[in-house]
Structure 1
Amino acid sequence: MTLRSSLIRFTLATACTGFAAATLAQTAAAPAPDAKARMAIEAAFAKADANADGKVSKDEAAKMPEISAQFATLDKDKDGALTLAEFAAGYKMG
């Protein structure tokens, strides 16, 4: 991985973290995860996002049965991809 792609991933992860935090804060039903859990979710999201485009497609989610099984439900905006916030709603730490 080049330095440039590493910086892009870091910037994207940072932006997604802010977006996810804002989304989670607005959702009363979903408690905000602690820092360790949030880091685990972000790491799982980054790993699932094979092409590093900032979203997890249905094909990318196929590698994670717990996400793949709920994909249609998690994809709240029905754009065919999961944002970090959508992904986090279905991610179970194990």
Structure 2
Amino acid sequence: MDMAELIRDQARLIILKALAAQVDETLNSDFLVLELQRFGIRKDRAWVHDELRYLAEMGALVALPVGSLLVATLAAKGARHLEREIAIEGVQRPSRPVA
């Protein structure tokens, strides 16, 4: 696995976690750009849109265009990945909960 692929896999997990942390499980792509920057992943909106489209294709979220943004909402499959019930290809596995 090369570094670019590792960053993509990790960014996708961060995106799913950020959505799950919201009351309505929804964020727009500009907020997700900022969230990724908190973790040292400095990518532009177009890159985030590509990752949101990938996650939507995998069934992890729903991405709807609103103007120049994409609005992402966590789907049941994405929540199941975060709970470690399933594994979505191309998305880093979440850490095991600490007992």
TM-score range, shorter chain: 0.3 to 0.5
Of structures 1 and 2, the one with the larger relative CO (CA 8 A, separation 6+) is 2
Q: Higher helix share goes to which structure?
A: 1
TM-score (norm 2): 0.38
TM-score (norm 1): 0.39
Q: Higher strand share goes to which structure?
A: 2
